[in-house]
Amino acid sequence: MFNSAPQQSTLSVLSLNCWGLNIVAKKRKFRLRAIADRVSQKQYDIVALQEVWMWEDFDYIKKQTRDVLPYTKYFHSGTLGSGLAILSRFPILSSSYLKFTLAGKPLKVFQGDFYVGKGCGSVCIDHPDVGLIDVYTTHLQAGYGSHDDYEAQRITECWQIANSVRASAAQGRHVILTGDFNSIPTSHCYQILKNHAFMTDSWLEMHKDTMADSLGRLERDQLTASECIQLFGITCDSPLDTWTKHLLKQQPYSKDIGDRLDYIFYRRTPEITCQQSKVAFEEYIPDTQMSFSDHFAVHSIFLIAAKTNSVFDDDYAPLPKEIARPDFTHILPDTLHPIIRILEEDLLKATATANGLLFLFGLSLLFVFCLYSCQIVVPFYFSEFQLKVLASNIVCGLFIIVFSVVGIVSLIVGFVFGRNEQRSLRQYLIDINQQQHPLPALAQALPHTQPLMDS
């Protein structure tokens, strides 16, 4: 609560996954230009974009919005780029990029996540009323299909983000975290951001009081798909989005209404509180029958108050001196246990996959040796059948090339990536397991639990 009534202003923040994949994304250039035109017409203070893969698209967006958002940052990473960008009305003092330790699989070439250098981009902006604000944007690993093989990777990605956000908060900076998290509000990733990074979900904060009534109306089939977008914050897989795929990424409800995967989180303090949050860009591009993207945007407006003497209450994020302690967390053992179990299961799968690839390397090496031996032996014993010997050498040579390629790929992926994946998962297990011992003040309110593993 404020002890006085300081002069207040607002901060308008937009986050949108633009679906700007080259070749794969339909009508990419037309849609990205429509997005740029729409952003330039609105009064946004900060715009965070994901999946802007092509520099020409970002360059167009930058030129179209330079009068209203003169400060920009495009984050370069990986072989194909991160696709992340931030535009700001206020000066950007610095920027950084946190590359995720685990993101994608090298053999999943057509998914491409391993090659884009997924991570979290951040900028430090200088706001005239509240000083430094660290703005983050990210795009977490997607699930792909009905069976999610990447939940463990998203957990490790959120853990990295949470630690980075905590570092910003420990410096006394305000924090805004945006992006496509590919995680529904009941996910473990969401709990990490809420209870370990101490982030507040701006959309849920504005709609939590009406959520129970909305769920009841949904169960009674009293809501249309259009109403569900705003009532549940649907940003992806909505049947009203013209680019929605037939296979949903997540299925949080039995009814086909879509998912809430995109968020604007923030560190709630007496100086920054959320005033309004809604889904945006849900309408069609003007004069067309197509959506702007395969995601809708999230638009939140924050109330900004100049620094003043204030009293912190339970709705505010912890003080910087509290967050500065690595052992300070509100994440509960009941949340940590399944997280650790998921990582342990993924470690077992990663080990089995790596061992299988190394076995394939050994098998390929054996085949190459046998085929090479045939090329030496066959001419010696069948010198009178020159045509057959030539054909045999050609066939053996082709198979040697095939097995050599298979062997080299298996060795690199199984040994280099495989060992890196296993060691990374082990380290995350150690780091997360250390959080199973809560602070004494919190421990008094929790039942005693035994640690799952030794660090």
pLDDT at position 450: 43
For residues 67 and 127, state if they share a domain.
yes
**Over 70: is that where the pLDDT of 121 sits?**
yes
For residues 278 and 221, state if they share a domain.
yes
For residues 278 and 405, state if they share a domain.
no
The mean pLDDT value for 155-177 works out to 97
3-state class (DSSP) for residue 381: helix
Q: What is the pLDDT of residues 412-427, one digit of tens each?
A: 999 999 999 999 999 9
User: Poorest-confidence range of 71-85, 176-190, 215-229, 300-314?
Assistant: 300-314
Residue 455 lies in a domain: no
Q: What is the pLDDT of residues 83-110, one digit of tens each?
A: 999 999 999 999 999 999 999 899 888 8
For residues 57 and 110, state if they share a domain.
yes
Long-range pairs for 330-334: beta carbons < 8 A, 24 or more residues apart: 330/195, 330/196, 330/198, 330/442, 331/191, 331/192, 331/195, 331/196, 331/435, 332/195, 332/438, 332/446, 333/436, 333/438, 333/446, 333/449
Residue 410 lies in a domain: yes
Residue 2 lies in a domain: no
Please give the residue range of the domain that contains residue 289: 8-330
Structure tokens at 423: 């060691």
The mean pLDDT value for 349-373 works out to 94
**Over 50: is that where the pLDDT of 394 sits?**
yes
For residues 391 and 316, state if they share a domain.
no
**Over 50: is that where the pLDDT of 174 sits?**
yes
For residues 132 and 249, state if they share a domain.
yes
pLDDT at position 3: 44
**Over 80: is that where the pLDDT of 306 sits?**
no
Q: What is the pLDDT of residues 3-16, one digit of tens each?
A: 445 557 999 999 99
HSE toward the beta carbon, residue 254, CA cutoff 13 A: 5
Structure tokens at 443: 């421990």
| 257 touches 215 (CB < 8 A) | no
**Over 70: is that where the pLDDT of 77 sits?**
yes
For residues 187 and 283, state if they share a domain.
yes
3-state class (DSSP) for residue 105: coil
- Let me know if 383 is exposed, middle or buried by CB neighbors in 10 A (0-12, 13-18, 19+): exposed
**Over 80: is that where the pLDDT of 439 sits?**
no
Q: Residue 216 pairs with which residues in a beta bridge?
A: none
Average pLDDT, the chain: 89
Residue after which a domain boundary falls, among 330, 358, 373:
330
For residue 122, report the phi and psi dihedrals to the nearest 5 degrees.
Answer: -145, 150
> Would you list the DSSP string of 404-454?
HHHHHHHHIIIIIIHHHHHHHHHHHHHHHHGGGS--HHHHTTS-----SS-
pTM: 0.88
| 129 touches 147 (CB < 8 A) | no
Quote the DSSP letter at residue 295. B
For residues 248 and 393, state if they share a domain.
no
For residues 415 and 275, state if they share a domain.
no
User: b/e string for 248-271 if b means 16 or more Cβ within 10 A?
Assistant: bbbebbeeebbbbbbbbbbbbbbb
Q: What is the pLDDT of residues 283-302, one digit of tens each?
A: 999 999 999 999 999 999 99
Residue 452 lies in a domain: no
**How many Å apart are CA 153 and CA 217, to the nearest integer?**
35
**How many Å apart are CA 84 and CA 20, to the nearest integer?**
11
**How many Å apart are CA 326 and CA 431, to the nearest integer?**
10
pLDDT at position 240: 93
For residues 314 and 368, state if they share a domain.
no
Residue 350 lies in a domain: yes
Distances 317 to 72, 172, 179 between C-alpha atoms, Å:
28, 11, 20
**Over 70: is that where the pLDDT of 112 sits?**
yes
| 40 touches 74 (CB < 8 A) | no
Q: In the structure, what pLDDT confidence band is assigned to residue 311 with cuts at 50, 70 and 90?
A: low
pLDDT at position 374: 82
Total count of domains within the chain = 2
Reference 116, options 78, 76, 67; nearest CA is 78
pLDDT at position 252: 42
**Over 60: is that where the pLDDT of 434 sits?**
yes
Return all residues near 277 (Cβ < 8 A) that are at least 6 apart: 202, 203, 205, 206, 207, 264, 298, 299, 300, 301
**How many Å apart are CA 22 and CA 42, to the nearest integer?**
27
The mean pLDDT value for 203-231 works out to 91
Residue after which a domain boundary falls, among 306, 330, 354:
330
Residue after which a domain boundary falls, among 330, 349, 368:
330
Distance from chain centroid for Cα 218: 28
User: Poorest-confidence range of 14-23, 186-195, 244-253, 314-323?
Assistant: 244-253
Question: Interhelix angle for 333-381 vs 386-411, to 10°?
Answer: 160
Structure tokens at 249: 């990424």
**Over 50: is that where the pLDDT of 444 sits?**
no
CATH code, domain carrying 271: 3.60.10.10
Cα dihedral 336/341/343/347 (nearest 10):
160
